[in-house]
Structure 1
Amino acid sequence: MSSVSEGRFRSSAVPSITPGPLRTALRTDDGVRIEAVYEPCTAGAGAGAESSFDGTAIVLAHGFTGSVDRPAVRRAAGVFAGRAAVVTFSFRGHGGSGGRSTVGDREVLDLAAAVAWARELGHRRVVTAGFSMGGSVVLRHGALYARRPADGAEPGGAVEREGRTGARSEAHADAVVAVSAPARWYYRGTAPMRRLHWVVTRPMGRMVGRYGLRTRIDRNEWDPVPLPPVEAAGLIAPAPLLIVHGDRDPYFPLDHPRSLADAAGDGAELWLERGMGHAENAADETLLTRIADWAVTP
């Protein structure tokens, strides 16, 4: 699946103040139309909500085959909205968004557009929270879209390694949450991941993805291979990183979150959740509330 240059992108122009939920379309740097929804914080002023849009916004990145309107995504957004404003969106190839899924590669452009939109609305602090595939995307985004130094120099390191330039500082995340994220690409160590690879790599599998899972998948292989999540985790600091994983995750065993935490070192906090399965479908309200509380704490 082919990578593209992460330069400037076009996003929807919206009013700086809106009284309630707002649905719009964003345009990524490579011209893909992405559906997105903004929901203001539902907490009262005494709980820290700021009607002028200058409080924290959480940008929620769903897992593979998810979308902005899937029940699990809406449930997570509703819990998060009790602590902060929330931006949800459908990755390319999912839901009402255009394009085709590249299963974690070009999706970093989709996330960057959503983060920049939150900042256009006036939010001074933006936290990305990704689940499964979305978890790998927020990790790569955190490494590639770093806050620019005071001298205005372009970010290096991971950006240069992927041959990408122009990652704008207004698209950076102030903190990152990765839930049920893989540490490395091409993992086939569990039955669910072997089935997923069949869906992604085989013509019949992609047909099942399109008509059965409502996900349009790009047929091209990655070229070049994107920065692995485990390497990205070590490049996110000084932004805080929270890694959340269930001990009953059927997709990725516990060596994945532990590898991510080891790579990030002191820059990461690791929560291993007893009895939890995989991603947004398995995250209960108590866990989602804890994540939101972590996200809104500078």
Structure 2
Amino acid sequence: MPLATAFPATLMTKDGVRIDAAHTPARGHGDLGIVLAHGFTGSWRDKTTRRIAHVLSGYGGVLAFDFRGHGRSGGRSTVGDAEVLDLDAAVAHTRSIGYTRVVSVGFSMGAAVAVRHAALHRGTDAVVAVSGPARWYYRDTRPMRQVHWAIERPAGRLVARVAKRTRISNGRWDPVPLAPHEAVSRVAPTPLLVVHGDADTFFPLDHAHQLYDNAREPKELWIERGFGHAESAATPALIHRIGAWAAAVPAGARTATATG
């Protein structure tokens, strides 16, 4: 089956960063907009992300975008900090084109951003965090040690720029942003779904449990047997289940903008 057509769009964040995005119109519930937030070094143009958008478009319209420093977006990646402004611009655009219910679905870094955005901006009706970290600076798995090398070393940033089209800021966080496990308690009353695989080689299951345990109701936790990490491991069956969960979210689940 051919992938659904995605219509490119250009967004602008509140701090002036140009964001490359694409809208895949709904093939299902016409009032539901799903904002798809990719993982570190990902892009909405990746075939894997396009396939996920195609499946989700059976449940609502999909607005996929590249975080700052990724692909054709401007700026440099701050690896989860200022990216909440990118997601906020995507959510605002999704509402501006007519979707009255908006659910963010984030993978890995995108999951951390989705949780933090829901806590700090409260612009969505529900949040799905897939394969997300609960805390910063985690290095206890080999893949995460490789990620930190790419972020922290000049040679690593060069490899990320050349091989992955990801431009990473060389500055340190100052101050350190609110970690996902701290932010998640502020997400309620927005519904939260935490999805994690027992075969995740980046973040073990304690990250999912820490997010879920620190969150307040309404919340759900799906531990998926044999599921690895983020977009590349997500099966169509899992994405269908996530889409169905998003489609069941009632209108008006979001609350007024927070200032915390």
In which range does the TM-score fall when normalised by the shorter chain?
over 0.9
Q: Runs of 5+ in structure 2 lacking a partner?
A: 250-260
Task: Output one character per residue of 1:166-210: Cα deviation in whole Å (capped at 9) or x when no partner.
Answer: xxxxxx011000000000000001000001001000011100111
Task: Output one character per residue of 1:131-176: Cα deviation in whole Å (capped at 9) or x when no partner.
Answer: 0000000000000012xxxxxxxxxxxxxxxxxxxxxxxxx01100
**Structure 2: which amino acid aligns with 1:272?**
I
Matched residues in 1 for 2:226 and 2:70: separation? 29
**Structure 1: which amino acid aligns with 2:14?**
D
The correspondence of residues 277-292 of structure 1 with structure 2, limited to 5 A, is 277-292=228-243
- Corresponding residue of 2:10: 25
Task: Output one character per residue of 1:233-274: Cα deviation in whole Å (capped at 9) or x when no partner.
Answer: 111000100000000000000000000000014331000000
Matched residues in 1 for 2:6 and 2:150: separation? 34
- Corresponding residue of 1:145: 121
Task: Output one character per residue of 1:266-285: Cα deviation in whole Å (capped at 9) or x when no partner.
Answer: 33100000000000110000
1:100 lines up with 2:76 in the alignment: yes
Matched residues in 1 for 2:120 and 2:128: separation? 15
**Structure 2: which amino acid aligns with 1:89?**
F
Match of 1:197 among 131, 148, 154: 148
Task: Output one character per residue of 1:6-31: Cα deviation in whole Å (capped at 9) or x when no partner.
Answer: xxxxxxxxxxxxxx742111111111
- Corresponding residue of 1:72: 48
- Corresponding residue of 1:255: 206
Matched residues in 2 for 1:266 and 1:85: separation? 27
1:219 lines up with 2:204 in the alignment: no
- Corresponding residue of 1:88: 64
**Structure 2: which amino acid aligns with 1:282?**
A
Is the 8 Å Cα contact of residues 188 and 216 (structure 2) preserved in structure 1?
no
- Corresponding residue of 1:206: 157
Q: 1:41 deviation in Å?
A: 1.0
Matched residues in 1 for 2:88 and 2:203: separation? 26
Q: 1:59 deviation in Å?
A: 0.1
- Corresponding residue of 2:131: 180
Aligned residues: 245
Q: 1:71 deviation in Å?
A: 1.0
Task: Give the secondary-structure state (helix, strand or coil) at the position aligned to 1:212.
Answer: helix
Match of 1:275 among 223, 226, 230: 226
- Corresponding residue of 1:8: none
- Corresponding residue of 1:39: 24
- Corresponding residue of 2:33: 57
Is the 8 Å Cα contact of residues 191 and 217 (structure 2) preserved in structure 1?
no
Matched residues in 1 for 2:186 and 2:213: separation? 12
The correspondence of residues 226-241 of structure 1 with structure 2, limited to 5 A, is 226-241=177-192
- Corresponding residue of 1:134: 110
Task: Give the secondary-structure state (helix, strand or coil) at the position aligned to 2:164.
Answer: coil
Deviating above 3 A after TM superposition, structure 1's stretches of 4 or more consecutive aligned residues are none
Matched residues in 2 for 1:116 and 1:42: separation? 21
**Structure 2: which amino acid aligns with 1:113?**
A
Pairwise CA RMSD of aligned residues?
0.9
* Percent identical residues: 56
Name which one, 1 or 2, has greater alpha-carbon Rg: 1
Is the 8 Å Cα contact of residues 189 and 217 (structure 2) preserved in structure 1?
no
